């Protein structure tokens, strides 16, 4: 794989495919296959998801649930990713999930899929950058003794959002270069962290602890319930791989590159994340001290106990830079979703958000809207300790169903689906149904309360956010969406789509 762009002729073929799907090319194709893989790999970012929710994992099941949960959930996400990749190959547009749903199931399917996808992307961005702010606060605590209060972390969080907005405004070429660097930084970072924790500390936890120790500090008495809740760490980490689909209009050989980007990002993240979690868990010196670290970040305490102050600061810097790469990639993916959804008239003030800079080929207003909404979504963290867990759950229950809806519609309306260049062949149906079943399960699971007793501070706001978005989507559909939202018709399936829309109106 190469980060460089492909020949001009391939771009012409990609643009012809986009016109066939009904869109006039306005974004610039400057991203090669490696760059497309890199953006999803950067968004998944095991150095972001695994590290920021590591403290959550210590409480909800402990090492055993973190390690075995990673194996199980990673396997199921491979099914989801493969099913989504197959549909992405058939519909390589920036709208991605909602456009797929629209073409296969009709306008209303596309409408609600788009709103769920947008909620999940914004929740993922908020979680990534707030996690980076937490780790930055921990580094500042070790370096200068600055107390990482919620207010301090929020200020750092806003500064990171501003940085990512600025970088994205320079255009997709810079984003692609940064994502390519990010891939190697993540692999090298995992290697450095695991090697340091393996060879420098004089003591390590036994294998029986890493793969068998169960810890329940949630307040719930059911071990099974705690195990299931503990799967959030892995499921949250494995979000954002739809970035390859959202950047497909800026990718050469998009029908193949975007699909492969999704599958490869999930696969490599699965391997790297397992190595990282195992390496960090073997190095725990004081379990209780790690949970109650003054830095506010349990992995920072593990680094500190195992390597000393200088080593801890260096490894924290490795993690923070990876998280910054991750957040920057997510801003790119989310802003393209905002751009595409506005292009089809789905958002209020769509005419503003779909504007593209003639100089950079970037949807500038969409980038700015993305970071502002992510900041607003995270404001509850100023007064609620459970807010970060809720934001991550919002990401999961928003974006994960959006992954499965196009796969479900591809199975339900098989006669409407036209395979792309990358497909699963006869395995498409069993892989698809496995993916849909898993997504239905985790969507219900992560709406449940995570700690007991349930108070204002510990309440899981994810289902509230989900209901609010669905209610807002329904209201906006009735007020304006029914008339303003429209997507072009894919020429090879126009008749089937018209029948789907007629059946919707009858219902």
Q: Which DSSP string do the residues of 74-142 spell out, in sequence order?
A: HHHHHHHHHHHHHHHHH--STTTHHHHHHHHH-HHHHHHHHHHHHHHHHHHHHHHHHHHHHHHHHHHHH
Q: What are phi and psi of 61, to 5 degrees?
A: 110, -25
Distances (CA, A) of 71 to 191, 231, 237, 440: 19, 10, 13, 19
Give dist(CA 313, CA 336) in Å, integer: 35
Q: Which of 49-58, 79-88, 459-468 has the lowest mean pLDDT?
A: 459-468
Model confidence at 506, in pLDDT bands (50, 70, 90)? very low
Q: For residues 113-139, give the mean pLDDT.
A: 92
Q: Return d(Cα 174, Cα 151) in angstroms, integer.
A: 32
CA 183, distance to chain mean position in Å, is 16
Which residues, 6 or more positions from 422, have their beta carbon under 8 angstroms from its beta carbon?
Answer: 85, 86, 89, 255, 256, 259, 260
Residue range 187-192: mean pLDDT, rounded:
97
At 494, the pLDDT band (50, 70, 90 cuts) reads very low
Q: Is the pLDDT of residue 3 over 80?
A: no
Q: Output the pLDDT for position 40.
A: 96
pLDDT per position as a tens digit, 264-287: 999 999 999 999 999 999 999 999
Which alpha helices (DSSP H) does 283-349 contain, by range? 287-291, 298-343
To the nearest whole number, what is the mean pLDDT of the chain?
Answer: 90
Give CA torsion, residues 331, 101, 34, 335, to 10 deg. -20
Is 93 a residue whose pLDDT tops 60? Answer: yes
The predicted structure's pLDDT at residue 390: 67
Query: Torsion angle, CA of 134/138/141/142, rounded to 10 degrees?
Result: -170
- Tell me what the mean pLDDT of segment 123-139 comes to: 92
Q: What percent of the chain has pLDDT over 90?
A: 73
| Tens of pLDDT, residues 363-381 | 999 999 999 999 998 988 8
Number of neighbouring beta carbons within 10 Å of residue 24? 9
pLDDT at residue 296 tops 60: yes
CB 298 within 8 A of CB 55: yes
Instruction: Quote the longest CA-to-CA distance of the chain.
Output: 70
Can you tell me the mean pLDDT for 168-187? 93
Helix (H) or strand (E) holding 53: none
Angstrom distance (rounded) from CA 74 to CA 69:
8
CA distance 366 to 371: 9
Query: For 265, phi and psi rounded to 5 degrees?
Result: -65, -45
Stretch 153-163: mean pLDDT: 97
Does the pLDDT of residue 340 top 60, yes or no? Answer: yes
Say yes or no to pLDDT of 171 above 70: yes
Q: Reduced to 3 DSSP states, what percent helix, strand and coil does the chain have, rounded to the nearest 5?
A: 75, 0, 25
Pairwise CA distance, residues 490 & 71, whole Å: 38
Residue 490 is predicted with a pLDDT of: 58
> How sure is the predictor about 474, in pLDDT bands with cuts at 50, 70 and 90?
very high
List the structure tokens of 43: 């968004």
Q: Please report, rounded to a whole number, the percentage of residues in the chain having pLDDT higher than 70.
A: 92
User: Cβ contacts of residue 67 below 8 Å, gap of 6+?
Assistant: 210, 211, 274, 277, 278, 281
pLDDT digits (tens, 9 = 90+) for 389-415: 667 667 777 788 899 999 999 999 998
Contacts of residue 71, defined as CB under 8 A and 6 or more positions apart, other chains included, come to: 274
Res 1 pLDDT > 60: no
Contact yes or no for 54/280 (Cβ under 8 A): yes
Rounded mean pLDDT of 61-66? Answer: 97
| pLDDT tens for each residue of 37-63 | 999 999 999 999 899 889 999 999 999
The C-alpha atoms of residue 126 and residue 121 are separated, in whole angstroms, by 9
At 141, give phi and psi (nearest 5°).
-65, -45
Length of the chain: 507
Helix (H) or strand (E) holding 61: strand 60-61
Question: Cis before residue 453, ω within 30 degrees of 0?
Answer: yes
> What local confidence, expressed as pLDDT, does residue 389 receive?
65
Q: Let me know the angle formed at the C-alpha of 190 by 55 and 134, rounded to the nearest 5 degrees.
A: 35
């Amino acid at each position: 794989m190469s980060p460089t762009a492909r020949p001009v002729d391939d771009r012409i073929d990609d643009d012809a495919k986009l016109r066939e799907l009904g869109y006039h090319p306005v974004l610039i194709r400057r991203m090669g296959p490696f760059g497309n893989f890199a953006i999803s790999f950067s968004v998944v970012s095991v150095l972001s998801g695994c590290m920021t929710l590591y403290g959550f994992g210590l409480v909800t099941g402990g090492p055993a649930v973190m390690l075995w949960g990673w194996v199980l959930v990673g396997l199921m996400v491979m099914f989801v990713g493969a099913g989504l990749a197959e549909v992405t190959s058939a519909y390589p547009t920036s709208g991605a999930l909602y456009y797929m749903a629209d073409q296969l199931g009709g306008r209303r399917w596309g409408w609600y899929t788009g709103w769920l996808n947008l909620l999940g992307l914004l929740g993922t961005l908020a979680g990534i950058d707030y996690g980076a702010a937490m780790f930055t606060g921990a580094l500042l605590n070790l370096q200068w003794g600055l107390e990482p209060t919620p207010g301090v972390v929020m200020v750092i969080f806003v500064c990171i959002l501003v940085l990512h907005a600025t970088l994205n405004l320079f255009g997709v070429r810079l984003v692609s270069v940064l994502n390519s660097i990010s891939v190697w930084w993540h692999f090298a970072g995992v290697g450095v962290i695991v090697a340091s924790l393996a060879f420098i500390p004089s003591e390590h936890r036994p294998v029986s602890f890493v793969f068998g120790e169960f810890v329940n500090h949630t307040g719930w008495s059911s071990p099974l319930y705690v195990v299931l809740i503990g799967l959030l760490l892995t499921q949250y980490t494995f979000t954002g791989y739809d970035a390859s689909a959202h950047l497909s209009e800026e990718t050469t050989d998009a029908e193949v590159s975007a699909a492969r980007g999704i599958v490869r990002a999930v696969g490599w993240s699965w391997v790297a994340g397992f190595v990282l979690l195992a390496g960090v868990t073997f190095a725990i010196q004081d379990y209780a001290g790690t949970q109650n670290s003054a830095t506010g970040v349990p992995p920072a305490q593990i680094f500190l106990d195992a390597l000393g102050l200088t080593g801890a600061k260096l490894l924290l810097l490795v993690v923070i830079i990876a998280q910054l790469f991750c957040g920057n990639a997510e801003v790119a993916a989310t802003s393209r979703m905002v751009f595409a959804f506005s292009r089809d008239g789905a958002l209020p003030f769509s005419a503003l958000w779909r504007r593209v800079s003639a100089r950079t080929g970037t949807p500038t207003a969409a980038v700015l809207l993305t970071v502002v909404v992510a900041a607003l979504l995270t404001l509850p963290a100023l007064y609620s300790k459970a807010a970060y867990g809720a934001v991550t759950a919002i990401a999961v229950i928003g974006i994960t169903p959006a992954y499965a809806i196009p796969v479900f519609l591809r199975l339900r309306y098989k006669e409407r689906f036209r395979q792309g260049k990358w497909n699963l062949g006869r395995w498409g149906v069993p892989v698809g149904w496995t993916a849909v079943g898993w997504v239905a399960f985790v969507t219900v699971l992560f709406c449940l309360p995570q700690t007991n007793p349930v108070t204002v501070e510990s309440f899981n706001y994810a289902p509230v956010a989900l209901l609010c978005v669905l209610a807002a989507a329904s209201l906006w559909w009735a007020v304006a969406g029914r008339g303003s939202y429209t997507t072009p018709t894919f020429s090879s399936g126009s008749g089937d789509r018209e029948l789907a829309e007629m059946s919707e109106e009858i219902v």
